[in-house]
């Protein structure tokens, strides 16, 4: 057999639907393959594990050419909410879990979930602002310690 | 593709160790297949998952992913990973003699 990946540490740095899901799917998929996985939430990525924010993750309709919407339309009030609802409905049909359910499931797979200390300080959060599945708030140095011997993936 | 002997019978497996033909699998092969995956003691829960994988494969033509297993097998995701630490759907499929489940979630 050729070389295999034994461990991954995935950084989620953005707070939009398309910023959060790829990292969650990669972490969950890693565990399903028997690969050790850690998730590290930094900057707006912290919203994915924030008790009050993880249920209202949105998709950006401004400055997001991937949506193929006319620029003027993206900023119209209600468009972001409508696109978010559309995406969530589509994902639910494919049995892709909501962000809170996904975070819980990934924790159940045995993956480690960590928040970034610098970002937590920057936004004035505390450990209590985050869901119980979060193992701890760690520094960048601790992140590298935890990631030792594996691959680091930034999303 | 490769050939190996399980419980005294010769079977064809993929490079990853999944059965080429699920029909050649028997329950008598399970203890040996499980041992190869690092599972020395098969509990009732292990059997429950293995039989469920088989049943799903026979009904749908493919094995369930971990998420589907957690929702429908009666064993939680947390427990599934305790039973099969190297990946519940993947390892249980191998032990159950069915192809590797495909699916991203």
Query: pLDDT tens across B70-99, in order?
Result: 999 999 999 999 999 999 999 999 999 999
Q: Give the domain A7-55+98-154 fold.
A: Hypothetical Protein Ychn; Chain: A, (3.40.1260)
Beta-carbon-side half-sphere exposure of residue B7 (alpha carbons within 13 Å): 13
Interface of A with B in 1-30 (CB under 8 A): 1, 25, 28-29
| Mean pLDDT, range B19-33, rounded to an integer | 96
In B, minimum Cα distance to A91 occurs at B105
Distance CA A82, CA B15 (A): 46
Write the CB contacts of A113 (distance below 8 Å, at least 6 apart in sequence): A38, A39, A41, A49, A103, A106, A107, A133, A134, A135
Mark whether B34 is an active-site residue. Answer: no
Question: For position A2, what pLDDT does the model report?
Answer: 60
Domains of chain B: residue spans and CATH? 2-95 (1.10.10.370)
Model pTM score: 0.95
Q: B77: left (phi > 0), else alpha (psi -120 to 50), else beta?
A: alpha
Domain ranges within chain A, ordered by starting residue: 7-55+98-154
3-state secondary structure of A12: strand
Question: For position A25, what pLDDT does the model report?
Answer: 98
The alpha-carbon gap from B17 to the nearest alpha carbon of chain A, in Å, equals 11
Count Cβ neighbours within 10 Å for each residue of B8-29 and write b for 16 or more, e otherwise: eeebebeeebbbeebeebeeeb
Write the CB contacts of A117 (distance below 8 Å, at least 6 apart in sequence): A137, A138, A139, A140
How far out from the chain centre does Cα A135 lie? 15
Over 70: is that where the pLDDT of B54 sits? yes
The alpha-carbon gap from B23 to the nearest alpha carbon of chain A, in Å, equals 25
Please check whether residue A45 is in contact with residue A17, taking contact to mean a CB–CB distance below 8 angstroms.
no
Question: For position A9, what pLDDT does the model report?
Answer: 98
Q: Name the strand (E) or helix (H) holding A36.
A: strand A36-41
Q: Beta B2-6 vs B9-13: how paired, if at all?
A: antiparallel
Write the CB contacts of B9 (distance below 8 Å, at least 6 apart in sequence): B24, B26, B29
> Given an 8 Å threshold on Cβ–Cβ distance, is A108 in contact with B91?
no
Q: One digit per residue, pLDDT tens: chain A, 155 residues?
A: 468 999 999 999 999 999 999 999 999 999 999 999 999 999 999 999 999 999 999 999 999 999 999 999 999 999 999 999 999 999 999 999 999 999 999 999 999 999 999 999 999 999 999 999 999 999 999 999 999 999 999 99
**Most B-contacting residue of A34, A98, A99, A112 (CB-CB within 10 A), to test interface:** A34
Residue carrying structure tokens 């960048």: A140
The alpha-carbon gap from B86 to the nearest alpha carbon of chain A, in Å, equals 4
| Mean pLDDT, range B10-28, rounded to an integer | 95
Question: For position B1, what pLDDT does the model report?
Answer: 79
Please check whether residue B90 is in contact with residue B101, taking contact to mean a CB–CB distance below 8 angstroms.
yes
């Amino acid at each position: 057999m050729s070389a295999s990946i034994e461990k991954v540490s995935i950084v989620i740095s953005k707070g939009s639907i398309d910023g959060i899901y790829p990292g969650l799917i990669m972490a969950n998929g890693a565990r399903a393959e028997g690969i050790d996985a850690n998730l590290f939430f930094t900057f707006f990525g912290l919203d994915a594990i924030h008790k009050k924010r993880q249920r209202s993750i949105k998709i950006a309709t401004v400055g997001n050419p991937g949506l193929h919407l006319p620029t003027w339309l993206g900023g119209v009030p209600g468009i972001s909410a409508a696109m978010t609802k559309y995406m969530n409905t589509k994902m639910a049909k494919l049995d892709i879990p909501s962000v809170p359910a996904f975070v819980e499931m990934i924790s159940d797979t045995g993956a480690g979930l960590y928040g970034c200390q610098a970002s937590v300080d920057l936004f004035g959060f505390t450990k209590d602002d985050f869901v119980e599945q979060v193992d701890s708030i760690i520094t960048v140095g601790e992140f590298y310690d935890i990631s030792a011997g594996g691959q680091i993936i930034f999303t | 593709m490769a050939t190996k002997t399980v419980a005294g019978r010769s079977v064809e497996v993929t490079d990853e160790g999944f059965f080429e033909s699920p029909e050649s699998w028997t329950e008598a092969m399970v203890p040996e297949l499980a041992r190869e995956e690092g599972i020395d003691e098969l509990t009732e829960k292990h059997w429950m998952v293995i039989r469920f994988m088989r049943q799903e494969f026979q009904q749908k033509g493919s094995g369930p992913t971990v998420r589907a297993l957690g929702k429908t097998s009666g064993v939680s995701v947390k427990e599934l990973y305790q039973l099969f630490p190297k990946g519940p759907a993947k390892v249980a499929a191998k032990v159950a003699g069915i192809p590797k489940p495909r699916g991203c979630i």
